[in-house]
Chain A
Amino acid sequence: MMKIIAMDVMSTGVIAYYVLVAARNGLFTPIVGSAESGSYADPVPQAVILTAIVIGFSIQALMLVGVMKLARENPLLDSREIEISNTPS
């Protein structure tokens, strides 16, 4: 369980890094319009990381469902115990 949360923290870090790279050259939202031009943020990394956010989220959901199933037999959800009881010798 802790490991799943840890993985989520890692993926948040990656997403933040993508946003940071996108904002290197400017902070303005790149929208076509009549507003005054400035230094725009790069839209491509933001667009692609959106996919990664969705994928990360769905994997998270799948894992939590799996953990819910495992929790019936192992209420403490100690991954080491689960591993020992489910690994063939």
Chain B
Amino acid sequence: MLWVLCPFIAGFVIMLLPRSDRLLAVVAGLVSVGFGAQALRMRSPLIVQLLDSAGVTLQIDTLGGYFILTNAVVTLAVLFYCWQSDRTSFFYAQLLMLHGSLNAAFICTDFMSLYVSLEVTGIASFLLIAYPRSDRAIWVGLRYLLISNIAMLFYLIGTILVYQTHQSFQFAGLVDSPPEALALIFLGLLAKGGIFVSGLWLPLTHSESETPVSAMLSGAVVKASVLPLMRCGLIQDDIGMIVGLFGVGTALLGVTCAVFEKDTKRMLAFHTISQLGFVLAAPAVGGFYALSHGLVKSSLFLSAGTLPSRSFKELKQTPINFSLWLILAIASLSIAGFPGLIGFGAKVWTVKHLLPWQTWMMNIAAVGTAISFAKFLFLPRGPWQPLKPSFLAAQLLLLGGLVAGNGFYLKAYTLENLGKALITIAIGWLIYLGIIQRVTVKLPRAAEQFEHLIGAMSLMLVLLFWMALA
């Protein structure tokens, strides 16, 4: 059990020994990689009971293993990226706190421990977002903290309702609990995880934070509340139905916004929303998809931070460094599901586990993904120039993961799947070159205002309540 504590211990030691901050952080990250890999090889879940019957139960299984591995690799990549920067040890300590609390969220099995770890992730992310201490960073961080805290208050009310029915906080207690308990808990998790309409706080937060922080937020932090949703969805078919519906809705909403977005980082953030939909649509196998998305998205965010401009319009005027383009191209091809990279296996595996009514909607979302990432692929290329070694190390780790991740699911390589993936990508590129590139549609951003976000949360609560009753 010591490995869960490892990042926290390392974080505290960093505050005492600020000189060795990066080294300690890398050690803690490597421990998590080792543990995540071990969890993936386990046949039956390992259940640890702390204290006696009223104590806390932890469960380590392969589903959680994928998430732990994602978290560890993304943290390591972010560390490598920051290696040459002049960030203080406070930054690294907070990064480790965030990493540790995410790991804790991935293994807990009851609502109360989940609440504690989600709140710790919220606080640590706020500190990371507000690290530059500019007015804008503080406002974005405050907005994030207020929204996530209000969501967690709803969640707490739901939790006590579950306790009242079952005298326990276990996830399994959701089954016979009153519908309002389900609605309140799901609202908390959906809003915190950035899913569907209640997740519209996410684009601004992820695009306005610093490059390494947005990579961390998008690659790992949003997954903290997605995994509990998946676990709840696996308990019972009725709950799984609600989770699946939200998965499809989120995938379509996110991809529609991403296709029309003109700003690189905002496009990536909207795309995170849509990918969370893919993860949720098939809860049983979502872990693999989460791994592929975490690697790709952090790689893309790190690259987008190195691009000379954030606007696609300006990027089209100036040729970019060829080596940077190559990295962007590999990551974009992976997320669009190009064979040979992890995204292909993940898409095939997810689609195989979808219900029939979900499949065609998800295919539309996959075409949308190809369209939105064609924006990166068709950028003008310039001559080859060397990149910063820290940036290169982070990208090599992430892209290496993309290729190595193929090994998890080699059975995907059949002629039918290959053909389908290539056709999807081809349709996406054709639509991009033919239509999207020429039109300029500016989607309204009213729904992203702070007060509207809170309002949307209460509307979602009503919707969830009726879904739970039905």
Contact = CB atoms under 8 A, between A and B. Distances in A.
Contact of B149 (A18, A59, A73): A59
A52 B141 CA distance: 21
A48 B115 CA distance: 10
Interface size class of B (residues with CB under 8 A): 35 or more
B37 interface: no
A88 B208 CA distance: 9
A86 B139 contact: yes
A79 interface: yes
A70 B138 CA distance: 8
A14 interface: yes
B160 A45 contact: yes
B6 interface: no
Interface stretch (B150-158, B253-261, B353-361): B150-158
Interface in B50-64: 54
Interface in A18-73: 18, 21, 44-45, 48, 51-52, 55-56, 58-59, 62-63, 66-67, 69-70, 73
A76 interface: no
B156 A83 contact: no
Interface size class of A (residues with CB under 8 A): 20 to 34
Nearest to B137: A86
Contacts of B313: none
Which of A11, A17, A73, A87 has the most B CB atoms < 10 Å from its CB?
Answer: A87
Given A7-B149, A55-B116, A58-B123, A73 B54 contact: no
Interface in B152-170: 153, 156-157, 160, 163-164, 167, 169
B420 interface: no
A10 B149 CA distance: 10
B157 A14 contact: yes
Nearest to B118: A55
B149 A86 contact: no
A67 B142 contact: yes
B135 A69 contact: yes
Interface of A: 3-4, 7, 10-11, 14, 17-18, 21, 44-45, 48, 51-52, 55-56, 58-59, 62-63, 66-67, 69-70, 73, 79-80, 82-83, 85-88
Interface of B: 54, 112, 115-116, 119, 122-123, 126-127, 130, 133, 135-136, 138-143, 145-146, 149-150, 153, 156-157, 160, 163-164, 167, 169, 204, 208, 449-451
16 contacts: A3-B146, A7-B153, A10-B150, A11-B149, A14-B156, A44-B167, A52-B156, A58-B123, A59-B122, A59-B123, A59-B145, A70-B139, A70-B142, A83-B450, A85-B135, A86-B139
Given A7-B149, A17-B160, A67-B142, 16 more contacts: A7-B146, A14-B156, A51-B115, A51-B116, A55-B116, A55-B123, A58-B123, A62-B123, A62-B126, A62-B145, A63-B142, A70-B135, A83-B139, A83-B143, A86-B140, A87-B204
